[in-house]
Amino acid sequence: MKNIIFLLAAIFIMTSCTYSKKEKLALENQFQKEKKKVDSLQKIVDTLRTKFIFDNLTVLHIPNKNQPIKEGEEYSGKLYFVAFNKDDRILFSPDYPIKKPDTISKIDYGGFEYKTIGKKGKNNYYFETIINNQTSLNSQTGIFDGRVMSDIIISE
């Protein structure tokens, strides 16, 4: 009887040691996976440190190539949106609140071009920003997405 108990105890101890080695191997594999993730994230952080991080946004609005706006005539304007990303979009409308905006076409270097018809008196411009870049959304410290910018040009 003592031999059977001793044999069972020996098998139990050996099995426990084997399980412990398997567990140790699994933990080492998990540790290596987590280390790779940390290294990958560190590369991203290091890359971001080499980029411009904007604390504010600059917008330059050039309606009708700086020419007078004439009533009833179509004209175009450009909005330059500094600190843009390729995925970002700008909506344009001459009316507020913006109900049926146009997604204005993108030109080089953060510029967006729109077309509208001139009116006598106040010509209103409303631009709504849509930030689609995932890195920008994840790392923003303030809220800019969905903000409406406006400008007014008075023509005679």
Q: Residue ranges per domain, the chain?
A: 1-51, 58-155
Report which of 115, 141, 130, 123 is spatially closest to residue 56, judged by C-alpha positions.
Answer: 141
Residue 65 backbone class (left: φ over 0; alpha: ψ -120 to 50; beta: rest): left
CATH label, 58-155, candidates 2.60.40.10, 2.60.120.10, 3.40.50.720, 3.40.50.300: 2.60.40.10
> What would the pLDDT profile of 15-41 be if each residue is shown by its tens digit?
665 557 788 888 888 888 988 888 888
Question: pTM here?
Answer: 0.58
> What would the pLDDT profile of 31-80 be if each residue is shown by its tens digit?
889 888 888 888 887 777 666 555 566 778 888 888 888 899 998 888 88
Distance, CA of 56 to CA of 144 (rounded, Å): 10
